A and B are shown apart, each in its own frame.
Chain A
Amino acid sequence: MNVTSPQNTLLSIENLTVGYGERIIQQDINFTVKKGSIFALMGGSGCGKSTLLKSMIGLLPPQNGDFLVKGENYWKANKNHRVEIARNFGVLFQSAALWSSMTVGENIALPLQLFTNLSASMIQRLVEMKLGLVGMSHAINLYPSELSGGMKKRCGLARALALDPEILFFDEPSAGLDPITSKRLDDLILNLRDGLGTTIIIVSHELPSLFTIADDGIFLDAETKRPIAHGSPRALRDNPPCALVNDFMHRQTVQNPK
């Protein structure tokens, strides 16, 4: 795990336990995310990556532990303050989660209409630009039901970018995308990070994508319900700390998970 100076730390997870009801999904999670970094949440299917992400974006209160955003304890803040903190978040959901009763343009315009006092023409220009960034300008008047899975995902990303968030959360961004679109998305993620210093938390199984873009990460294990490795996906691939991580990073059949 990279050592970061407190000033450079944007997000911090301390002894976090997440789960549903009394069922623990992951526990003893500790890590920090540097400002401007791309942090990967890795692990096999069902290990709790998405559950941890849900807890980080405010959808699932943790059972224990703290989640700090710029030093502020997110889950211990009052509800209004939590909403204020979350205004810095942009989330791309696994299914894109576009609102089906609105056109793509309206999907992106809605947060701008609700949370800014921009004029209608400025909102329109911003919507066009955000869609342009993801290569979906032509879809501004289309409904989500008229789009393919990949197109929905790109429009979902444009919506996540609507309020210029400081932190972007991606849940399986490349899942279901063709290699070219996937590569374009990787480039866009790198551009957002390099150009604008956006911090990105990414849940993904796409190893080539993770090796290309992520510079730090954590590996969760479903068996022990704990993180078993910290570090960038490239470092974990080159120097795996255990057989499970080695098998995961090299796409091998797990011989002995323990």
Chain B
Amino acid sequence: MKVNKKSSLPPQPPEWTLKFENNKPILILNGDWLAKNNNIPQLPVDIFKNCSTDISVHINTDRLGSWDSGFVVFLWDVKNLATINGISIDKDNLPVAAQQLVGLLNDKKPEPTLPPKYQFRPLYDLGEWTINSLNSLGVTFQLFIFALKGVFKFLMGRSYMRLNDLLRDIRAAGPSALIIISVVNFLMGSILAFVGAVQLRKFSADAYVANLVGIATVRELAAVMTAIVISGRTGGAYAARIATMQGNEEIDALKVFGIPVTEYLILPSMLSLVITMPIMYLYACLMSIFGGLIVSILMLKVSVIGFLYQTFGAVPFNQFIFGGTKTVAFAMFIGVSSCYIGMKSGRSAADVGVAATKAVVAGIVGVIALDAVFAVLADIIGI
């Protein structure tokens, strides 16, 4: 809404006056009513207190200058107060455009819908949180079972999962993540070797640096670090992808066609992680031991053969089995939880970001919690 009447005079401030001539109220509007000048007056609530409901208020715009949205805002206030006081307004003197725009506005400003007020109800909130958490846990477990059923159907050749989707997800979760896995695990092995060398040297036990790097890497760090990286990189991406599909009604379309969402979406995501993560784990072990080797050569002047002999002597094969089993569990957890979070997200762009963040946080916390469970189990079975 641009300035409607142009004048060569300098801008005049907007002014209003309510006059009575022969008991007839006249609202005189003078000057330039431009929102950009930031000087549109506010109408007093009791402006029409002396006006009779029998006689309409006449508006005089003889000395009205330029106007834009600001004038319409003021006129809406006039219209509102007049309606509240049961007074009619004679708008014939207003510019036609202003009449049309004011005509579109309601007589009375409708009450806006207020956002729900927060109430402090700790017991209620705790109960609601508990029920929601149990519900989420149940649904996640249900999704996991459906996904396992999907694996069975896939093996029988009766799955809805497309091989192309599985290959695409494998590529995204595996080869595309190699660089970050390499960097993180190489540095982790180097740091372990460096710290180990400095500390063990004090006890003349620096020959055991290879043992330290080997056991820590194979048993714990390679599996956990790989899972954390994959959770942040791939889990977040899966959640965001499914949340976007939710927003575009793509998941609704799958449901309408009767295509099981678990098989079509969750199964390739989970399977891709289950297939790639054990391989990534072995690769991570290799990179980490390589990092330890480089630092050991530089700091302790050990030979390559000596370091490797010491390492593999210290790490029995069952430690690899243990680490590999953990990565499979981590992969299933990351796959199912990130897909579940994506499916439960809202339908807006902001919800996609929230889903990705939630998936990463849940993935990292869940992986560490699962690792703790595995530590206890390993202790019980004596690995």
Contacts and interface: CB of A to CB of B under 8 A. Distances in A.
Contacts of A106: none
B97 A129 contact: no
Interface stretch (B112-120, B191-199, B275-283, B285-293): B112-120
B1 A196 contact: yes
A143 interface: yes
A119 B4 contact: no
B3 to A, nearest CB: 9
B275 to A, nearest CB: 36
Interface string A81-110: 000000000000000000111000000000
A140 B114 CA distance: 9
- Which of A129, A166, A192 has the most chain B CB within a 10 Å cutoff? A129
B73 A125 contact: yes
Contacts of B105: 129, 132-133
A137 B96 contact: no
A143 B348 contact: yes
B33 interface: no
Contact of A166 (B2, B42, B113, B115): B2
B78 to A, nearest CB: 12
Given A125-B73, A128-B109, A133 B101 contact: yes
B260 interface: no
Contacts of A138: 110-113
Contacts of A100: 348-351
Given A122-B35, A129-B76, A164-B68, A137 B110 contact: yes
Contacts of B4: 196-197
A239 interface: no
B106 to A, nearest CB: 6
Nearest to B95: A195
Interface residues of A, number: 38
B73 A129 contact: yes
A129 B104 contact: no
Given A100-B350, A129-B73, A195-B98, A137 B2 contact: no
Main secondary structure of the interface of A (DSSP, over half): helix
B113 A139 contact: yes
B73 A101 contact: no
Contacts of A132: 76, 104-106, 109
Contact of A164 (B2, B112, B346, B351): B2
- Which of A132, A142, A198 has the most chain B CB within a 10 Å cutoff? A132
A118 B112 CA distance: 23
A245 to B, nearest CB: 33
B50 interface: no
Interface string A30-52: 00000000000000000000000
Those 5 A-B pairs whose CB atoms lie nearest each other, nearest first:
A195-B97, A100-B348, A101-B350, A164-B1, A132-B105
18 contacts: A100-B348, A116-B36, A122-B35, A122-B38, A126-B35, A132-B76, A132-B109, A133-B101, A137-B110, A137-B112, A138-B111, A138-B112, A145-B346, A164-B69, A187-B104, A195-B96, A197-B2, A197-B4
Given A161-B1, A191-B104, 10 more contacts: A101-B348, A116-B36, A117-B38, A119-B38, A122-B35, A122-B73, A132-B104, A138-B112, A142-B113, A164-B1
